[in-house]
Amino acid sequence: MIVLKLQFAVAGALLLITVGIDAVFADEPAPAESKIYQPAGAPADPKVSVHWNRYHDYSQSIRLLRQLAEAHPKICRLQTLGKSYGGRNMWVMTITDPTVGKESEKPAFWIDGGIHANEIQAVEVVLYTAWYLCESHGRNKLIDRLLKERTFYLMPMMSPDSRDAHMRRPNTTHSPRSGQRPVDDDRDGLVDEDGPDDLDGDGHITQMRIRDPNGRYKPHPDFPQLMIRCKDDEQGSYTLLGSEGVDNDDDGRVNEDGDGYYDPNRDWAYHWQPKSVQRGAHHYPFSVLENRMVADFIAAHPNIAGAQSYHNTGGMILYGPGVKGEKNQPADQAVYDAIAAKGEMMLPGYRKLNIANDLYEVYGGELDWLHGMQGVFGFTNELFTGFNFFRKGSPSREDQRRFNRYLLLGEGLVEWHEVEHPQYGKIEVGGLKKNWLRQPPSFLLEEECHRNMAFTLYHADQMPQVAVSDVQVKQLGGGLHEVTATVVNHKLTPTHSAHDVMHKITRPDLVSIAGKDLKVITALVSDDPLLRRAGEQKRNPGVVRLKTVRGMRAVYVRWLVKGAGPYTVTVNSVKGGVGSRIAK
Amino acid sequence: MRKISCLLMTAVLSIATSVFAAEGPIDGYADYEKFREQVQVLARSEWVTLRSLATTRGGREVYLLTVGRGKTDEKPAMLIVGGVHAPHLAGSELALRTISQLLRTQGTDKDAAALLERYTLYVIPRPSPDAGERFFEKPYAERTGNLRKTDDDRDGQVGEDPADDLNGDGWITMMRIEDAAGDYIPHPDDPRVMIKIDRKKKNERGRYRLLVEGRDNDGDEAHNEDGSAGVDFNRNFTFNYPYFKTGAGPNQVSEPETRAVADFAFSRPNIALVFSFTPEDNLFHVWKPDAGSEKKRIKTKILSADAPYVNYLAERYRKIHTGKDAPASPKGEGSFSEWAYFHYGRWSLAARGWWIPKVDPPKPAEGEKEKKLSDEKRGATELNALRWFAREKIDGFVDWKPIEHPDFPGAKVEVGGFKPLLRLNPPAKLLDDLAARHAKFLAATGKLMPVVAIKETQVESLGEGVFRLKVTVTNTGYLPTMPAMGKVSQQAYPLMLTLELPKGAKLITGTRRTALEPIAGGGTIEKTWLLRLSEDKSKNVKITVTAPAVGSTEKTIELK
């Protein structure tokens, strides 16, 4: 049946073979030409066809990026920042409409995923965003405008070696968080010598238990795979032995020195602290090779004004600072609040939270560096939330098992089964597989990608955008003119965060006036349309330096000049783009 | 054979000494080319291996000399770093000369011989050679940074307003502008010295503004605020890092020089102690512990468990050095020597090495009346420096002379003041004696390092091939096997005790490999195992105790 239908579609010819089929289709109009029904959402007939209900490993991701770059050469470019410790390229895709403005002069948005490689859907969201931007160009007016106004830099895989390690080697949903450069975690002279061991060879690191009539654990009455603590007066049946593993180096400890360990998101330079203070910190900021390439790239692109980093899990829209006692400047916090509030609306089950005060303290996190040393507003989304199991509340451990039973049809678990442990003898292993819990299952992945992308595009649209909206010229007599320009930023985000202004991170916005035989006498600057409170810029008044142009506000610049028009007023902002206007 | 090579080496090393001479603000200091020759000459010694850890932006090498014999990376080591604060080029000279001194004397001095036999010395005499070379750059100034282009006032323009040698004398000194709103007055006993007024406590009125010699090149009403100073090796480390400040760089350990040194240090777990030549001295002004801050997550004071050891070492240092009235240590933000203790977790000793000694005011000549001096305390260091210059016949001060200054039309502006570098670095003739003292101190410190030994083994047969084995490990040295900060920082490697068991033997309790807690000097630690031997096999158990920064010991015993 399906085969026959395909024949109709491909050949478009009616050649009915059997009487039975003849009878079935007798009343239907002939299908002249197959037409795609376009659902709301992503293009149904993209140039590059992708299944968004599956996960891509390193080479599949790269193939997809290459296909996109080939199919959309006018708007997208692929480059590598260098090679990871394991020799994988660190690919960055640049997407922008080059027919309008220069890539480096447009406000740019940075998107990265998978700095914690086990958090695998983070990469999918970035890939989806790249795909969606490319495929929607020319179809969706908002995307067309965004690509004209902004440059997007997308780094799908911040830790590509460990992504492949997660997918190919035995792991849990929580591993590996580290990169793959070997570290002697226990400083015993042996390196990465005692990681977890996949005792049953099923590719998942689960839990170990041993039958023990004096143990304090027992199977859950409804979900026997789940181990629970006995009541105070109840006899148990098992002792738990921790994660699947053996003491590989005979030091009495199990799994104490596995691959890595350093946490790539404790490696960024602002509020950095060593591992005695911050677990996972490596030697010094950007001593993690892959991060250094990214930091160098971002620092070399000061037009980056907004950023999004994808992680999992828990349904959070996180903003800095990551360190207690530090606080965002009120004006900056207002920006975070406004954007994150939209996110809460767009991402059901997600909450906006401050890292330090609402989650936990993080020294050397990426967001703190972006905001603290690069003047970039950034969010970290902790993708996926148990809310999605049954679209309500926060799920219990029983709800997880229920979701496994009724929606995963039991595929999310390894049932307890016996293995021979070289040190413990006969034990049992079993537990959750590595491929869900933190990650959405196939049928929830695409939605996760789309909603998060939509939030990020909203943020990207709200990056600053400067323009000269008006220039008024007044004759003062004696060849003297008063030229008043209105410089606006019709977006939510200022051209400089208050923190940026305080530490002079990004150079001031420059508003300049040019004209034939023009002599600029002086310049006045004010936030007030009537210039009732104005400051004077004595030095080099032809190029006025603005500390910032606030979001949804204007700055008024007035020059006293000698020389007739036309006057060209130009605004040039590192993070807010460029604009100009000519007045006679 | 040994004797011959020692003689040869003495010859080689005296060549090394003879090339110590260079043009510059102080005679006898080695510029990079001379330094490179010296390093290469030293590297001819059978004790020395030379390699470069990095090449700088200026194309210069960050040299590492590994001094020692045998498998140097497997022996406990000291890391000696000079020139940490680049204008303190004496630090670079002292690092190199100290090593030369040790190599020269190890044939006759048994402490020096023992130090070199037992320890590896990793020596980085000039970690930031581009910055070091700026010592020789005219006009002379105390430049700390490397050649990275930096925008010091963060205004979007790079290096648009450096200091300027207004009087063309080749030195960046100071300028004083006569101004009743200024904060400075001349010292009552010597008007060359400017002292800062105290309006509130003393109701003083100023006479001068004091600025570094230069023009406001970019017309921003600030003087000399952006000379594109580069990145200071000694402000680029992670401890107490001075974000956004001049010399700090874009972030911690951002430079080829700092990264090379940090990467090298992290790759050498055998380093037990770091000795820096730097003005942030902690031997005359020891770090003090603080009970309150000790409880905090971020440690900013030396741990009280470590302080007595450092104090003892510092006391020994002061005796050997014999200096007095050492000037206060500058505040170290992002400094190397503090990093070495707080973040790298090693014993960290820092020596300024030299300072201007105290010189009494000259006695009046016969028949002359004693000049009555004020009791002014301010400017005492400066007055002393001027007396010392006079005694040593060093031209270290530029007398104030008026100039025309375009930024201060109509005002009286004078240029003058102390010449840079001369108060920080001694005349070269003093360096060898200072180096000898530092060599002596290092050799003495070699005798205080931890030494691990197996003090006692007890074997008790319980019958049927079952034995109880007890091993007592001791530290016969003075220092503990790691500083308390080594454990807190999780950087120092613990002692590992390993049992090599006969074939077929099984441990009933305990593990084959056991990490030991740190052992204080004179302290012991005991471990017990139960094991069972299979019959007709060897009954020898080999016990090894080792840590890279402490060394190894082993013992084989028979179970019977």
List, for residues A396-405, the tens digit of each pLDDT value.
Answer: 999 999 999 9
Judge if A266 and A347 occupy the same domain. yes
Q: Could you tell me if residue A133 is inside a domain?
A: yes
Instruction: Give the pLDDT score at A6.
Output: 43
Write the class of the CATH domain B2-136+231-356+426-446.
alpha beta
CB nearest A249 (choices: B488, B490, B513): B513
Could you give the maximum distance between any two Cα atoms of chain B, in Å?
A: 105
C-alpha distance from residue A49 to each of A65, A125, A482, B357, B399 (Å): 12, 16, 58, 80, 80
Q: b/e for B120-155, b at 16 or more Cβ within 10 A? A: bbbbbbbbbbbbbbbbbeebbbbbbbbbbebbbbbb
Question: What are the DSSP calls for A509-570, one per residue?
Answer: EEEEEE-TT-EEEEEEEESSTT-SS-EEE-SSTTEEEES---TTEEEEEEEEEES-S-EEEE
Three-state DSSP class for A121?
helix
C-alpha distance from residue B394 to each of A93, B91, B390, B434 (Å): 63, 21, 6, 20
Domain enclosing residue A236, as ranges: 165-388+450-458
Judge if A372 and A504 occupy the same domain. no
Closest CA in chain A for residue B263: A283
Contacts of A27 (CB under 8 A, 6+ apart): none
CB nearest A285 (choices: B251, B299, B514): B251
Task: Reply yes or no on domain B452-558 having CATH 3.40.1280.10.
Answer: no
Closest CA in chain B for residue A573: B156
How far is residue B537's CA from residue B535's CA, in Å, rounded to a whole number? 6
**DSSP character at residue B140:** B
Judge if A334 and A209 occupy the same domain. yes
Contacts of B18 (CB under 8 A, 6+ apart): none
Judge if A372 and A490 occupy the same domain. no
The torsion defined by the Cα of B321, B323, B325 and B330, in degrees rounded to 10, comes to -50
> Hey, are the CB atoms on B266 and A283 less than 8 Å from each other?
yes
Q: How confident is the model at residue A8 (pLDDT cuts 50, 70, 90)?
A: very low
Q: How confident is the model at residue A23 (pLDDT cuts 50, 70, 90)?
A: low
B414: which strand partners?
B176, B402
Judge if A272 and A147 occupy the same domain. no
Is residue B491 packed enough to be buried (19+ CB in 10 Å), middle (13-18) or exposed (0-12)? Answer: buried
List the structure tokens of B262: 């940090």
**A13 has a pLDDT exceeding 50:** no
**Contacts A–B by Cβ distance under 8 A:** 90
How far is residue B42's CA from residue A82's CA, in Å, rounded to a whole number? 39
Last residue of a domain, one of A424, A458, A492: A458
Nearest partner of B171 among B452, B328, B395, judged by Cα: B395
Nearest partner of A173 among A137, A146, A203, A214, judged by Cα: A203
Helix (H) or strand (E) holding A453: helix A442-461
CB nearest B513 (choices: A251, A272, A503): A251
Judge if A198 and A124 occupy the same domain. no
Mean pLDDT of chain A: 94
List the structure tokens of B326: 């050492």
**DSSP character at residue B535:** T
Three-state DSSP class for B403?
strand
Judge if A134 and A175 occupy the same domain. no
> Hey, are the CB atoms on B489 and A539 less than 8 Å from each other?
no
Give the pLDDT means over successive 10-residue stretches in chain B (560 positions). 45 44 83 97 97 98 97 98 98 98 96 97 98 97 98 93 97 97 96 96 96 94 95 98 97 98 98 98 97 94 98 98 95 96 98 97 80 91 97 97 95 98 98 98 98 97 94 98 98 97 93 97 98 83 98 95
Interface-testing mutation among B241, B259, B500, B513, with chain A (most A C-beta atoms within 10 A): B513
* Number of domains comprising chain A: 4
Instruction: Give the pLDDT score at A26.
Output: 63
Question: Cβ(B315)–Cβ(B249) under 8 Å?
Answer: no
How far is residue B253's CA from residue B489's CA, in Å, rounded to a whole number? 18
Helix (H) or strand (E) holding B2: helix B2-18
All structural domains of chain B with their residue ranges: 2-136+231-356+426-446, 157-228+377-422, 452-558
**DSSP character at residue A38:** -
Judge if A26 and A73 occupy the same domain. no
Q: Could you tell me if residue A566 is inside a domain?
A: yes
CATH number (domain holding residue A493): 2.60.40.290
Q: Could you tell me if residue A197 is inside a domain?
A: yes
Question: Cβ(B524)–Cβ(B510) under 8 Å?
Answer: no
CA angle B131, B434, B418 (to 5 degrees): 55
Query: For B134-190, where are the alpha helices, taking DSSP H only?
Result: none
Question: What are the DSSP calls for A422-441, one per residue?
Answer: TTTEEEEEEEE-TTSSSSPP
Q: Could you tell me if residue A417 is inside a domain?
A: no
Nearest partner of B412 among B179, B246, B233, judged by Cα: B179
Of A20-29, A447-456, B254-263, which range is least confident? A20-29
**A18 has a pLDDT exceeding 60:** no
Question: Cβ(A541)–Cβ(A557) under 8 Å?
Answer: no
CB count, 10 Å around CB of B427? 15
* Mean pLDDT, residues A353-359: 97
Judge if A3 and A151 occupy the same domain. no
Contact residues, chain A, for B153 at CB < 8 Å:
504
- What's the whole-model pTM score? 0.94
Note which residues in 260-279 of chain B have CB less than 8 A from chain A: 262-263, 266, 269
Q: Could you tell me if residue A433 is inside a domain?
A: no
Three-state DSSP class for A221?
coil
> 3-state secondary structure string, B297-326?
CCCCCCCCCCHHHHHHHHHHHHHHHCCCCC
Interface-testing mutation among A185, A186, A187, with chain B (most B C-beta atoms within 10 A): A187
Q: Could you tell me if residue A258 is inside a domain?
A: yes
Question: Cβ(B345)–Cβ(B490) under 8 Å?
Answer: yes
**A514 has a pLDDT exceeding 50:** yes
ipTM entry:
0.94
Strand arrangement, sheet containing A377-383: A76-83, A89-95, A151-155, A108-113, A304-312, A377-383, A316-319, A351-354
Closest CA in chain A for residue B298: A277
Lookup result for tokens 């005492």: B380
List the structure tokens of A514: 């040019």
- Bond preceding residue B139 cis, omega within 30 of 0: yes
CA of residue A368 relative to chain centroid, distance = 15
> 3-state secondary structure string, B467-506?
EEEEEEEEECCCCCCCCHHHHHCCCCCCEEEEEECCCCCE
A108: which strand partners?
A151, A304
Contact residues, chain A, for B219 at CB < 8 Å:
539-540
* Mean pLDDT, residues A543-550: 97
Question: Cβ(A476)–Cβ(A543) under 8 Å?
Answer: no
C-alpha distance from residue B243 to each of A202, A391, A577 (Å): 49, 45, 27
Nearest partner of B258 among B334, B332, B333, judged by Cα: B334
Residue at A563: amino acid letter: G
Q: What sign has the CA pseudo-torsion B315, B316, B317, B322? A: positive
Judge if A200 and A279 occupy the same domain. yes
Q: Could you tell me if residue A211 is inside a domain?
A: yes
Instruction: Give the pLDDT score at A21.
Output: 55
C-alpha distance from residue B521 to each of A566, B273, B310, B453, B476 (Å): 84, 16, 14, 11, 6
> Quick check: B490 contacting A, CB < 8 Å?
yes
Question: Cβ(A146)–Cβ(A175) under 8 Å?
Answer: no
Question: Cβ(A312)–Cβ(A173) under 8 Å?
Answer: no
Note which residues in 131-160 of chain B have CB less than 8 A from chain A: 153-156
How far is residue B548's CA from residue B493's CA, in Å, rounded to a whole number? 7
User: To the nearest whole angstrom, how far is the Cα of B240 from the nearest Cα of chain A?
Assistant: 10
How far is residue A536's CA from residue A521's CA, in Å, rounded to a whole number? 11
> Hey, are the CB atoms on B263 and A283 less than 8 Å from each other?
yes
**A419 has a pLDDT exceeding 50:** yes
Judge if A326 and A350 occupy the same domain. yes
* Mean pLDDT, residues A175-181: 95
pLDDT tens profile A86-120: 999 999 999 999 999 999 999 999 999 999 999 99
> Hey, are the CB atoms on B496 and A189 less than 8 Å from each other?
yes
The torsion defined by the Cα of B203, B208, B211 and B217, in degrees rounded to 10, comes to 130
Q: Could you tell me if residue A429 is inside a domain?
A: no
List the structure tokens of A409: 């049809």
How far is residue A161's CA from residue B73's CA, in Å, rounded to a whole number? 30
